[in-house]
Amino acid sequence: MEDGWLGHLREAEWMFLEQRLGPDILADMDRAVPILIGRLRGSLALQVVPGDDGVPELQIGSFPDDEGDVEYAAPVELGFHGPELVREHVSHSRTGTEFTVREHVRQANTPEQPYMRPALYRTRY
């Protein structure tokens, strides 16, 4: 074996994850993510980082944005059934009148809308 072969291998792995596999998975996720306001879709990204053993690791999914974590990424993917806190917010009636919705707890019954798992489990190459 040629000296430095392991470094060349790691570099090739990094490039494959960052330039081919990661973008392909991300494109599939982007096509499948449900869009209500676009925040979840906008939070989808990828990064390649060195793992503990030096092997490049692909991290892909929902990353924090300017507002912080997109807390509903997992409930959209997996569904959610149970109590849910609705924070106080401003809403609009059908006629356009603005009103404040007070903070309250409601019983959620959100069906799963998978967008990550189908992209991750798809056979490639």
**What are the pLDDT digits (tens) for 54-86?**
899 999 999 999 999 999 999 999 999 999 999
Contact 56, 17 (CB under 8 A): yes
Going by C-beta distance under 8 Å and a sequence separation of 6 or more, which residues neighbour residue 85? 103, 104, 105
HEC secondary structure over 63-106: CCECCECCCCHHHHHHCEEEEEEECCEEEECCCCCEEEECCEEE
Q: Is the overall model pTM greater than 0.85, yes or no?
A: no
Q: In this predicted structure, what is the pLDDT of residue 97?
A: 96
Cα–Cα distance between 7 and 116 in angstroms, integer? 31
| pLDDT tens-digit profile, the chain (125 residues) | 688 898 999 999 999 999 999 999 999 999 999 998 899 999 999 999 999 998 999 999 999 999 999 999 999 999 999 999 999 999 999 999 999 999 999 999 999 999 999 999 999 98
Strands 80-86 and 98-101: unpaired
What is 34-50 written as a DSSP string?
--SSSHHHHHEEEEEEE
Q: In this predicted structure, what is the pLDDT of residue 1?
A: 67
